[in-house]
Amino acid sequence: MNALDTMRALASEGEVITVQPGELIFRSGESGDCMFGVLEGEVQLSWNSDAGHEQIRAGDVFGAGALVTSEHRRYGDAKAATACQLLVMNREKFLFAVQESPMFAIELLGSIDQRLRQLKDCTRIG
């Protein structure tokens, strides 16, 4: 299982949203109160006025910082690169997932670690 599988298992109706290509999911500096899992499509995360960016693909999760820090402000912009189906998880459901399935936290950390390694490899190449 991965973090998205756990999110999917805990989801109820109404927690899946459809986002059209080019649609903004969140903006840098906004208050964050949920994280997202990409069921279908691709999302582009960008920061520092588009100086850096990352493609988030189906199976990945993003925005978890909003659930682990108090008074969180989004660090970058998230925009749908393609038509997307996103699973939304709020803080209450996140805390439930961590309590009831401690492996969820490990899966989430693993996902973040993998994304950071990919970003590091991309910056080394570029």
Confidence of residue 50 (pLDDT cuts 50, 70, 90): low
Where do the domains of the chain lie?
3-125
pLDDT of residue 68: 83
109-120: per-residue pLDDT in tens? 888 888 888 776
Tell me yes or no: is domain 3-125 CATH 2.60.120.10. Answer: yes
Do 29 and 49 form a contact (C-beta atoms < 8 A)?
no
- Residue 125 pLDDT > 60, yes or no? no
β-pairing, 84-90 vs 42-47, is: unpaired
